[in-house]
């Protein structure tokens, strides 16, 4: 159970590459790294989740706070390369309708 967080800062854009599992143990780590990025006005935060093998609802909590913070600070938040398993968690909780998500193979259900 480990999560690697790799951040590349470009001009007005931050790319966050995640690999591993997002659960109750690793979520605080992610929150600590992700939230400050969404607080920069005008910043575009792109979270690449291709190598996230598992995410539980604690992980979702982090993305919800990130979304709230990006709305408050006029930054953008986008999650890309979601696997079916990870997308399912966003889908069940209804968050796919209010978040900018891109699945790994864009087959509409």
Partner 1 sequence: MGEVINSSIEGYKDLLKSFIETQDERSLYGVEMMSKSFLKNNILPEEIVDMHIQALEELYPELSQEVKHSMNFLLEAMISYGIKQQEIQSLKEKQFAIQSEISVAAKMQNTLLKTEIPQAKGIDIGAISVPAHQLNGDYYHFVKGKDDTIGLAIADVIGKGIPAALSMSMIKYAIDSYPEESMKPNVILENLNRVVERNVDPNMFITMIYAQYSPRDNKLRFSSAGHEPGFYYNAKENKFTELKTKGLALGVLGNVQYQEYMLEMKPGDMVIFLTDGVTETKDQGRFIETQEVLDPIKKYKDLSAQEMVEHVFKYFEQLQDFKRRDDFTLIILKKEV
Q: How many residues bind partner 1 (CB under 8 A)?
A: 19
Query: Which residues touch 11 (CB under 8 Å, ≥6 apart)?
Result: none
- The nearest distance, CB 61 to partner 1, in angstroms, is 5
- Name the residue among 5, 15, 4 with its Cα closest to residue 37: 15
Q: In Å, how far are 19, 24, 50, 64 from 2, measured between CA atoms?
A: 8, 11, 15, 21
Residues between 39 and 78 that touch partner 1 (CB under 8 A): 54, 56-58, 60-62, 64-65, 68
- Does position 4 bind partner 1 by CB under 8 A? no
Contacting positions for partner 1 (CB under 8 A): 24, 31, 54, 56-58, 60-62, 64-65, 68, 85, 92-95, 97-98
């Amino acid at each position: 159970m480990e999560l690697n967080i790799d951040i590349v800062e470009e001009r007005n854009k931050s790319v966050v590459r995640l690999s591993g599992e997002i659960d109750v143990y690793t979520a605080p780590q992610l929150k600590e790294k992700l939230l400050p990025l969404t607080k920069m006005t005008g910043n575009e935060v792109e979270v690449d989740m291709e190598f996230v093998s598992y995410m539980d609802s604690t992980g979702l909590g982090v993305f919800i706070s990130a979304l709230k913070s990006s709305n408050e600070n006029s930054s953008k938040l986008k999650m890309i390369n979601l696997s079916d398993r990870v997308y399912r968690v966003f889908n069940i909780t209804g968050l796919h309708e209010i978040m900018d998500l891109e699945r790994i193979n864009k087959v509409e259900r």
